[in-house]
């Protein structure tokens, strides 16, 4: 026996092949072209239609999907081709031995039948690796940066002292009194009405 219980949905190449038919109509001749392709079968342990084992009232309350290698299972098992996956939980010794041979490749195997255990373990391991890398990251040193910071500090200090000196100098200078403007221009001469009339006729 070499049997596993599915913990998550799988696409499996089964012994009973699943075929997909493609149809196309030739525009020139009007003839219909059909092509068949062997495709993997989608098997979901949550879908009662895929259950190979059922129990409960009327046999439809709970169930599971048991898969096996060809000629290595029971009558209702779903025989598949290829290697097992980390989200297949061994249910017998031969299956456990086969899965053990893939431990180095998988790195992580599901310890429970919780869906998505292997996929989530990959995400968790990635997050742990990122956190560890950030925690152990050494500060980046740029050549000449220390001297540059010293020079910048010196320039800022000089600018600050110069501003203080200019401010103190402006405060020490006496304020000059404002000179009062004197109107020493001669007043304009008033013209008589006759003079205004003559100037208008001359275009003045």
Q: How many domains, the chain?
A: 1
Question: How many Å apart are CA 160 and CA 28, to the nearest integer?
Answer: 87
Question: How many Å apart are CA 113 and CA 16, to the nearest integer?
Answer: 26
- Given pLDDT bands bounded at 50, 70 and 90, which one contains residue 59? low
Asked, for residue 195, whether it belongs to a domain, the answer is: no
Domain that holds residue 119: 3-135
Average pLDDT, the chain: 78
Asked, for residue 36, whether it belongs to a domain, the answer is: yes
Asked, for residue 93, whether it belongs to a domain, the answer is: yes
Asked, for residue 79, whether it belongs to a domain, the answer is: yes
Q: Which of 25-29, 131-135, 146-150, 178-182 has the lowest mean pLDDT?
A: 178-182
pTM of the model: 0.51
Asked, for residue 150, whether it belongs to a domain, the answer is: no
Asked, for residue 90, whether it belongs to a domain, the answer is: yes
Question: How many Å apart are CA 11 and CA 4, to the nearest integer?
Answer: 15
Q: What is the pLDDT of residues 7-21, one digit of tens each?
A: 999 999 998 888 888
Asked, for residue 168, whether it belongs to a domain, the answer is: no
Asked, for residue 124, whether it belongs to a domain, the answer is: yes
What average pLDDT score do residues 165-169 get? 75
Cα dihedral: 22, 27, 31, 32 (round 10)? 10
Q: What is the pLDDT of residues 64-84, one digit of tens each?
A: 999 999 999 999 999 999 999
Strand segments (E) across the chain:
3-6, 10-14, 18-25, 32-39, 41-43, 53-55, 62-64, 66-68, 78-81, 88-90
């Amino acid at each position: 026996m070499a049997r596993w219980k599915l913990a998550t949905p799988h696409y499996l190449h089964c012994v009973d092949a699943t075929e997909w038919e493609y149809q196309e109509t030739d525009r020139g001749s009007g003839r219909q072209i059909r092509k068949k392709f062997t495709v993997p079968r989608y098997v979901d342990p949550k879908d009662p239609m895929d259950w190979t084992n059922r129990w409960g009232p009327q046999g439809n309350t709970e169930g599971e999907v048991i898969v096996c290698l060809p000629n290595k299972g029971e009558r209702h098992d779903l025989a598949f081709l290829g290697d097992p996956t980390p989200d297949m939980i061994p249910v017998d010794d031969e299956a456990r031995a086969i899965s053990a041979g893939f431990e180095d490749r998988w790195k992580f195997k599901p310890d429970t039948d919780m869906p998505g255990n292997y996929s989530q373990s990959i995400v968790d391991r990635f997050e742990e690796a990122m956190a560890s890398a950030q925690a152990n990251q050494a500060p980046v040193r740029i050549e000449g940066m220390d001297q540059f910071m010293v020079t910048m500090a010196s320039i800022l200090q000089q600018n600050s002292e110069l501003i203080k000196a200019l401010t103190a100098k402006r405060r020490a200078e006496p304020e000059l009194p404002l000179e009062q403007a004197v109107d020493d221009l001669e007043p304009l001469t008033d013209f008589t009405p006759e003079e205004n009339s003559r100037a208008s006729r001359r275009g003045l």
